[in-house]
């Protein structure tokens, strides 16, 4: 479209006006399509124009557009929320006021961008350069999201996972094809392929169930629902989760404008949309040091992490990781410097803080100790990206939000450090470590299928690649560090030397993993997978670098060796290898033994809502396992304070309601710790002298 700058300006105003009309008049489809663009694209794009960052590469512009949009929505949203409530308007997140606030803000950004960067309005912002072979390589990736959608529909309706498995096997085919033609395709193939593959993978978890599915996500959905229902954000449960705007305010803004029939689908879908662009930041970070071809593999290594694949069921953690990745991307960018860089760094620090407290503390740890190491080695370092001012500002923002506004996260952080220290004496007690660490150390693996041994070997091969990459950089190739003045030629697979602070951060990431495994209390209180997904932001480049080093020593094709680890790694983390071997993971099969107590069935939803509406008093509701408690929270909107902390397994007498789920009523099973199943008949004495108040064939309520 060949328009003048003024024409583009008028068009942008038209998009804002069209969205306002579609939202206010509730025009189906148009409201949802224009609303997604309005929320997920427009604010970030206008900020890029305002900051004159339109000359960045395609990957940078895509990930910054989405990242800045989400950051803007959360920060503006909480500001508008607090100002409106102080002024006496108690529903600032309702559709009309919110639409007005956003539209005025976007118009202000648009006017500012037009005045400051008028020439950018006459250019193509997201030009994609593809040659014939590049288009050929993108044929498969572009149909992968569709295959995921069709595959999940087939699995959920008929139990067939054929389409789903075809799509999963086409992902390695796409990766191999792009790798083979890497010298004959244009660079824009990589970011498009990464987004399509990520979207396909995230869609599977999103559509596997029509209801909320996971662990903490039930409580997260409850906070979103309460925020959306009250049309304002506030402290609801006095828990650490109240500090996470990413799970309450952010999806409430999307629902207020999009008004989807299924709030559960929207809640999960918001994070699929956002997180699909997350691996692009790892691509940009790695590309600076190892080139686009290798950075493509590094980004996929991040996308294949188990925690990333379940982003729709673990949103606050993954969003915090993505903001950390955006921070690192901007911190070491050669094209974003000065005030623009500082502004973006502050924005992403703030976004991480209001997204997830645990991820933010890890974020602070890495920034703080990288700065301290830089002070120790300052005579060897020419440049400083992490400054004292940055560290102090980060700490102040954390204290302000966690200790002054939401309060509990700061106290929880202090308690975490205290208990870690007093538990150091339990260093040699195996039971003091989490099951994740036990699995990592191969405890009990002899009782598992042979396939688990292969998975174990592949996982440790990926660790070995990272270790070789980091240690090899430190010992054998010091010339890679950008602080070196040596004129020796870099290895062919390195594009430039690693920034010294980036490398120091990589060393800290490795040390952090050791600490998680070594310190008992840490491994129990904070999942190792969460830590690993965050440090992979830094270490993904070293995974590829280590593979390159090993291949040079073994005189093997480097891309072949990396793919020999990366593709099996993908097949195991997605569960594809297990499904083919007849061991059914819940994500890919309707025959999984975990489905009956993990999924929310319609009967369970109806029973939970009946109990919420028809319960005669505020008596506590007792449950058979933690799974039923989660369903009461997300489906019945029960406050956790109303759910009894005693379960049938404990054999305690209960004075209140008893809620039975599908697994209890239909399967006659009760889920215990570690997902061990017990027979309900063994606990029939718990129902003596009690009345069955409600039953629908899949769920019951007793009193």
Tell me the pLDDT tens digit for each residue of 638-648: 999 888 866 66
What's the pLDDT at 593?
A: 77
- Return the half-sphere exposure (C-beta side, CA atoms, 13 A cut-off) of residue 546: 21
**Which comes out higher in pLDDT, residue 457 or 446?**
457
Note the pLDDT of residue 118: 85
The pLDDT of residue 603 is: 95
pLDDT at 438: 54
H/E stretch holding 647: strand 643-647
* Residue 481: pLDDT over 60: no
681 falls in which pLDDT band (50, 70, 90)? confident
pLDDT tier, 494 (very low <50, low <70, confident <90, very high otherwise): low
- For the ranges 271-275, 329-333, 370-374, which has the lowest average pLDDT? 370-374
Query: Which pLDDT value is given to residue 401?
Result: 93
The pLDDT assigned to 278 comes to 95
Question: Which segment of 236-240, 374-378, 489-493, 611-615 scores lowest on mean pLDDT?
Answer: 489-493
Give the pLDDT score at 483: 47
Output 571 or 414, whichever has higher pLDDT: 571
Q: What is the mean pLDDT of residues 107-128?
A: 85
Q: What are 78-110's pLDDT values in tens digits?
A: 999 999 999 999 999 999 999 999 999 999 999
Residue 479: the pLDDT is: 46
Query: What crossing angle do the helices spanning 42-50 and 95-116 adopt, rounded to 10°?
Result: 30
Predicted TM-score of the model (pTM) = 0.92
The residue that leads in pLDDT, 193 or 375, is 193
456-471 mean pLDDT: 93
The pLDDT tens digits for 497-542 are 788 889 999 999 998 888 777 665 555 556 678 888 999 999 999 9
- Residue 26: burial class (beta carbons within 10 Å; 0-12, 13-18, 19+): exposed
Tokens 């794009």 found at: 45
- As a whole number, the mean pLDDT across the chain is 87
Please tell me the predicted confidence (pLDDT) of residue 490.
53
pLDDT at 519: 65
Could you read off the pLDDT of 148-198 as tens digits, one per residue?
A: 999 999 999 999 999 999 999 999 999 999 999 999 999 999 999 999 999
Distance (Å) of CA 125 to CA 41, 55, 59, 70, 498: 12, 8, 12, 19, 30
Q: Which of 266-275, 322-331, 389-398, 578-587 has the lowest mean pLDDT?
A: 578-587
Tell me what pLDDT residue 675 has. Answer: 64
- Which residue did the predictor score with more confidence, 496 or 113? 113
| Predicted confidence (pLDDT) at residue 340 exceeds the cutoff of 50 | yes
The pLDDT score that the predictor gives to residue 440 is: 60
d(CA 613, CA 622): 17
Q: How is residue 187 written in tokens?
A: 């660079």
* Whether pLDDT at 430 is above 60: no
Indicate the burial class of 534 (C-beta count within 10 angstroms; 0-12, 13-18, 19 or more): buried
Percentage of the chain lying above the pLDDT 70 cut = 87
The residue-averaged pLDDT of 250-259 equals 96
Comparing CA positions, the residue from 614, 597, 612, 615 lying closest to residue 674 is 597
User: How far is residue 133's CA from residue 187's CA, in Å, rounded to a whole number?
Assistant: 12
The confidence score (pLDDT) of residue 616 equals 66
Whether the pLDDT of residue 412 is over 80: the answer is: no
């Amino acid at each position: 479209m060949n328009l003048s700058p003024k024409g583009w300006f008028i068009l942008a105003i038209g998009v804002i006006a069209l969205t306002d009309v579609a939202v206010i008049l509730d025009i189906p489809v148009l409201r949802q399509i224009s609303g997604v663009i309005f929320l997920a694209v427009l604010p970030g794009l206008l900020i890029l124009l305002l900051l004159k960052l339109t000359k960045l590469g395609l990957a940078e512009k895509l990930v910054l557009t989405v990242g800045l949009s989400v950051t803007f929505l959360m920060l503006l949203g909480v500001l508008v929320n607090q100002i409106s409530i102080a002024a006496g308007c108690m529903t600032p997140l309702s559709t009309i006021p919110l639409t007005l606030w956003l539209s005025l803000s976007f118009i202000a950004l648009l006017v500012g961008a037009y005045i400051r960067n008028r020439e950018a309005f006459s250019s193509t912002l997201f030009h994609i350069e593809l040659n014939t072979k590049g288009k050929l390589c993108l044929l498969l990736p572009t149909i992968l999201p569709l295959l995921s959608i069709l595959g999940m529909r087939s699995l959920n309706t008929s139990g067939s996972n054929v389409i789903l498995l075809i799509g999963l096997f086409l992902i390695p085919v796409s990766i191999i094809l792009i790798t083979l033609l890497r010298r004959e395709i244009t660079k824009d193939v990589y970011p498009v392929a990464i987004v399509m593959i990520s979207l396909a993978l995230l869609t599977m978890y999103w559509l596997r169930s029509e209801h909320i599915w996971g662990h903490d996500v039930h409580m997260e959905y409850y906070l979103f629902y309460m925020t959306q229902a009250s049309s304002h954000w506030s402290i609801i449960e006095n828990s650490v989760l109240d500090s996470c705007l990413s799970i309450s305010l952010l999806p409430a803004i999307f629902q207020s404008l999009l008004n989807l029939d299924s709030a559960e689908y929207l809640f999960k879908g918001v994070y699929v949309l956002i997180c699909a662009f997350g691996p692009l930041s790892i691509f940009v970070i790695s590309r600076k040091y190892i080139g686009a071809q290798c950075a493509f593999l590094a980004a996929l290594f991040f996308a294949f992490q188990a925690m990333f694949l379940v982003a729709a069921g673990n949103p606050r953690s993954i969003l915090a990781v993505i903001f950390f990745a955006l921070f690192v991307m901007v911190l070491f960018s050669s094209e974003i410097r000065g005030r623009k860089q500082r502004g973006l760094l502050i924005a992403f620090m703030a976004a991480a803080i209001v997204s997830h407290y645990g991820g933010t503390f890890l974020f602070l740890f890495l920034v703080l100790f990288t700065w301290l190491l830089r002070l120790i080695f300052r005579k060897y370092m020419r440049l400083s990206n992490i400054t004292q001012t940055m560290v102090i500002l980060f700490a102040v923002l954390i204290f302000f939000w966690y200790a002054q506004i939401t309060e509990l996260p700061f106290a929880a952080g202090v308690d975490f450090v205290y208990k870690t220290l007093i538990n150091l004496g339990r260093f040699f007690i195996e039971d003091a470590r989490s099951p994740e660490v036990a699995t990592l150390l191969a405890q009990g693996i002899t009782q598992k299928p042979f396939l688990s041994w292969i998975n174990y070997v592949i996982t440790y091969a990926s660790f070995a690649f990272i270790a070789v990459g980091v240690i090899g950089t430190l010992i054998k190739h010091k010339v890679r560090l950008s602080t070196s003045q040596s004129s020796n030629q870099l290895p062919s697979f390195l594009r430039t030397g690693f920034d010294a602070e980036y490398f120091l951060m990589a060393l800290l990431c490795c040390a952090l993993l050791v600490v998680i495994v070594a310190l008992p209390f840490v491994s129990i209180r904070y999942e190792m997978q969460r830590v690993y997904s965050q440090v992979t932001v830094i270490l993904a480049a070293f995974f590829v670098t280590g593979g390159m080093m090993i291949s040079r020593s073994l005189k093997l094709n480097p891309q072949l060796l990396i793919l020999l680890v990366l593709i099996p790694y993908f097949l195991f983390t997605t569960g594809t290898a297990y499904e083919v071997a007849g061991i059914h993971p819940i994500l890919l099969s309707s025959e999984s033994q975990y489905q009956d107590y993990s999924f929310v069935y319609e009967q369970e939803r109806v029973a939970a809502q009946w109990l919420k509406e028809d319960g005669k008093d505020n008596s506590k509701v007792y449950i058979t396992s933690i799974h039923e408690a989660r369903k009461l929270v997300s489906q019945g909107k029960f406050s956790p304070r109303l759910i009894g902390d005693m379960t049938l397994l404990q054999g305690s007498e209960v004075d209140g309601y008893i809620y039975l789920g599908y697994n209890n009523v239909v399967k006659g099973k009760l889920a215990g710790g570690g997902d061990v199943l017990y027979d309900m008949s063994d606990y029939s004495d718990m129902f003596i002298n009690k009345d069955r108040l409600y039953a629908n064939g899949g769920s019951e309520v007793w009193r």
